[in-house]
Amino acid sequence: MGFRPLHDRVLVKRIEAEEKTAGGIIIPDTAKEKPQEGEIVAVGGGAKSEDGKITPLDVKAGDRILFGKWSGTEVKLDGQDLLIMKESDILGIVG
């Protein structure tokens, strides 16, 4: 993919939630909430401080993350629905 996020931004692919409940009930698309878990596809170079020093990000491509419900900006790249968000929108790394 020919896209690299800038500074402290990351490119995230949502990980789809299960289509069934533990009891076997199938959840229709209209009742599903957007997943808040994803996999990082690409990361920016890091945040730049006022004195010009670059602080690298704590996450890397391939990390599974949790993020806030309203985090990020939805984009479509190479036919994929992805999110661009700041590292500060990430709640944590799963695993």
DSSP 31: G
Of 81, 93, 88, the residue nearest 13 (C-alpha): 81
For every one of its 95 residues, what pLDDT tens digit does the chain have, with 9 covering 90 and above?
688 999 999 999 998 766 655 677 776 666 556 668 999 999 999 988 889 899 999 999 999 999 988 899 999 998 889 999 999 999 999 98
**Distance between CA atoms of 40 and 20, rounded to whole angstroms?**
25
pLDDT computed for residue 3 by the predictor = 87
Predicted local confidence at residue 65, as pLDDT: 95
pLDDT score of 95: 80
**Hey, what long-range contacts does 15-23 have (CB within 8 A, 24 or more apart)?**
15/39, 15/64
The pTM score is 0.78
Q: Report d(CA 77, CA 84) in Å as an integer.
A: 11
